[in-house]
Amino acid sequence: KAGVTQTPRYLIKTRGQQVTLSCSPISGHRSVSWYQQTPGQGLQFLFEYFSETQRNKGNFPGRFSGRQFSNSRSEMNVSTLELGDSALYLCASSLGSTGGGHEQYFGPGTRLTVT
């Protein structure tokens, strides 16, 4: 079974621009969660999508948004980029069901650098 894939792997943007990152979950997984990893803050939860609906949201400004498509693929968007948005953005998928399958499997991440 193919793992979680994320595109692009690396991205360089300028302050004020916007960016869209993509994530394809493991086949059969319906939940996709996004995390931001920085040296100072560690791994921080951004949001989770399940069956095309945002099920949970972390403490990030509204510039961070996401969506999920009917095939469970997900995108996240960051508008008006700031220098502090430079980070590794990780996507994780899981079954998302109530009976189990709580384990999240991560993709390789997208390294975003804002200059």
Partner 1 sequence: DQQVKQNSPSLSVQEGRISILNCDYTNSMFDYFLWYKKYPAEGPTFLISISSIKDKNEDGRFTVFLNKSAKHLSLHIVPSQPGDSAVYFCAARGSSNTGKLIFGQGTTLQVKP
What residues make contact with partner 1 under the rule CB under 8 A? 4, 31-33, 35, 42-45, 48, 50, 55-56, 58, 90, 92, 94, 96, 98, 102-109, 111
Minimum separation from the CB atom of position 16 to partner 1 (A): 27
C-beta of 24 vs 31, nearer to partner 1: 31
Q: Is residue 41 left, alpha or beta, with left meaning phi > 0 and alpha meaning psi from -120 to 50?
A: alpha
CB of 6 to partner 1, least distance (A): 8
DSSP-assigned letters across all residues of 36-65:
EEETTTEEEEEEEEETTEEEEE-S--TTEE
Q: Rounded to the nearest whole angstrom, what is the least distance from the CB of residue 113 to partner 1 in the complex?
A: 13
